[in-house]
Structure 1
């Protein structure tokens, strides 16, 4: 199900959707990892933005 881009609220700001390419691309650019790595992290750790940012930061340091 696609996000309704005309509705502006903060219900899912704390999550990253692996189904939405623009969210994956944005998160990848923001954290300095590849979109494929973002999708793998979501599959492994879930879609909570805070957790993904922490794990991506650790991944980038390796």
Structure 2
């Protein structure tokens, strides 16, 4: 029996999901890496250092 990822179905849930970067999710790490022009490992390090907040991660990567 395969388990499926539970997706956010409400607008509030989607907005909250977009406000975070999941460091373990390859597609989210690649997206942030392309968006900021940094490497995927730099994105993972930033998530580990400042937490999952997209604003804080982007601010850290902008240095």
The answer on 1:22 being equivalent to 2:27 is yes
Root-mean-square deviation (CA, aligned residues, Å) is 2.1
Which TM-score applies when normalising by structure 2? 0.76
How far has the Cα of 1:11 moved from its partner? Answer: 2.5
Matching residue of 1:4: 7
Which TM-score applies when normalising by structure 1? 0.77
Unaligned segments of structure 1, at least 5 residues: none
How far has the Cα of 1:28 moved from its partner? Answer: 0.4
Unaligned segments of structure 2, at least 5 residues: none
Please identify runs of 4+ aligned residues in structure 1 that moved more than 4 A. none
| Bigger radius of gyration among the two | 2
Paired residues, number: 57
